[in-house]
Amino acid sequence: MPKPKNPGSPLRALAGAAGGLAIALAQVQAQAQTLPNIAPTGGIWDTGAGFHFDLGKKKALKTRQSLSGIACGVNAAQQRVCLAVFDEGVEARWATLHHNSLLPELEPVMLSAGTGELDAEGAATDGQYFYATGSHSAKRNSCDSNPDSRHVVRFRRDPATGRALRTPAGALVDYADTGRLWTIMQAQPALQDHVKERACLGAEGGVNIEGLAVRDGRLYFGLRSSGEVLAVDAEALFNGGEVHASVTPMSLGAGRGIRDMVAVQNGFLLLAGPDDDDAHKNLAWVVAWWDGKSSTSSVTPKVLATLDLRPVKLRSCDKEIKPEVITVLKETPQAYELLVLSDGMCDGGPLAFSVPHN
């Protein structure tokens, strides 16, 4: 008679667990070793005379160094025209993408009629409208509440020019400004701890919207502070009614939050970098892909590459390099051709990257 097996042996169970842990660690290490470290495909793109603002010299320079969102689309002449937003003031600008250049235009786009600073941190377009969002965050140094930043705006896009559709008097057609997102966020259990008056950025985790994307009538807001993506129905946000909000927690690695996001054919690309805690300021920036499916449990996007910024040489006009903006130049079966722009660099300091996704 054969001897009975002893499946309940503690030593055997311990050995099996240790073996499983070793395999998991080996897989993580192998993935980390194979993650591409991508340098720009060339130098900083030409931005001509740069973005012009009718401000004092010091304030104009600070605004040029504060590009924080971009929304691009192709017009009837097959030009790629972009709305660039800044986290200083309330004015946006147009710029046209050419080969190795991003050429700003003089026409101002007033995102807000108020005198307070919108702190615009994201822009998106679905071809029909342009959208821009304020950060909704408290002021960084004082932690004072900043209601001027709690706005989301939209206006009609002209498919012929790729710019804003305007009335004969110059007003933005179908311009709308809503402050509803603040109360919507307060109603989400996953965000309640972050959406408070005088909630400091950093360790306290005050809300800080940094990314904006749009797909199929839904607006997606990327949070730097806590790493979630909040999605709402665009029409309901501006016109009233149920927004069908969803909050998806993102696992981007310790100390990382969303810095920008953009819709692609089968999901979204996330630009992730240091969150609002100064202890994490030296973390690398990565590009990750998310399929866009909402979830109440944490989702781990597929990290595609780390951005190697070491070859970038700051110019006399630049203060520092902090990638905060991405837009897709071209999407192929093998790679995403991306343009990455930075807060702290004049006119965003545009850099092109080729990020493989297979």
The answer to whether the CB of 40 falls within 8 A of the CB of 352 is: yes
Q: What is the 3-state secondary structure (H, E, C) of the chain?
A: CCCCCCCCCHHHHHHHHHHHHHHHHHHHHHHHHHCCEECCCCCCCECCCCCCCCCCHHHHHHHHCCEEEEEEEECCCCCEEEEEEECCCCEEEEEEEECCEEEEEEEEEECCCCCCCCCEEEEEECCCEEEEEECCCCCCCCCCCCHHHCCEEEEEECCCCCCECECCCCCECCCEEECHHHHHHHCCCCCCCCCCCCCCCCCCCCCCEEEEEEECCEEEEEECCCCEEEEEEHHHHHHCCCCCCEEEEECCCCCEEEEEEEEECCEEEEEEEECCCHHHCCCCCEEEEECCCCCCCCECCEEEEEECCCCCCCCCCCCCCEEEEEEEEEECCCEEEEEEEEECCHHHCCEEEEEECC
Band of the pLDDT at 202, cuts 50, 70, 90? confident
Report if residue 46 sits inside a domain. yes
Domain-embedded: residue 3: no
Bridge partners for 77 per DSSP: none
Quick check: is 8 in a domain? no
The model's pLDDT over 307-340, given as tens digits with 9 standing for 90+, comes to 999 999 999 999 999 999 999 999 999 999 999 9
pLDDT confidence of residue 116: 87
Give me the mean pLDDT over the 118-122 stretch: 97
Select the more confidently predicted residue: 127 or 19: 127
Evaluate whether residue 88 is within a structural domain: yes
> Distance (Å, rounded) from C-alpha 274 to C-alpha 224?
8
The dihedral through the CA atoms of 228, 224, 321, 111 has a sign that is positive
Q: How confident is the model at residue 190 (pLDDT cuts 50, 70, 90)?
A: very high
The verdict on residue 180 lying in a domain is yes
**pLDDT given at position 196:** 94
Q: What is the arithmetic mean of pLDDT over 272-297?
A: 95
Residue 251: pLDDT above 80? yes
- pLDDT band of residue 203 (cuts 50, 70, 90) is confident
What pLDDT score does 113 carry? 84
Mean residue pLDDT across the chain: 91
Structural domains counted in the chain? 1
3: pLDDT strictly greater than 60: no
Whether 170 has a pLDDT exceeding 80, the answer reads yes
- Domain assignment present for residue 27? The answer is no
CATH number at residue 129: 2.115.10
pLDDT band of 8, cuts 50, 70, 90: very low
Q: Which of 97, 105, 113, 117 is nearest to 155 (CA)?
A: 113
Residue 226 CB partners (closer than 8 Å, separation 6+): 191, 194, 205, 207, 249, 257
Residue 64: pLDDT above 80? yes
> Which residues form the domain of 303?
35-356
With respect to residue 94, please indicate whether it lies within any of the assigned structural domains. yes
Whether 264 maps to a domain, the answer reads yes
Question: What mean pLDDT is predicted for residues 173-191?
Answer: 97
The model's pTM: 0.90
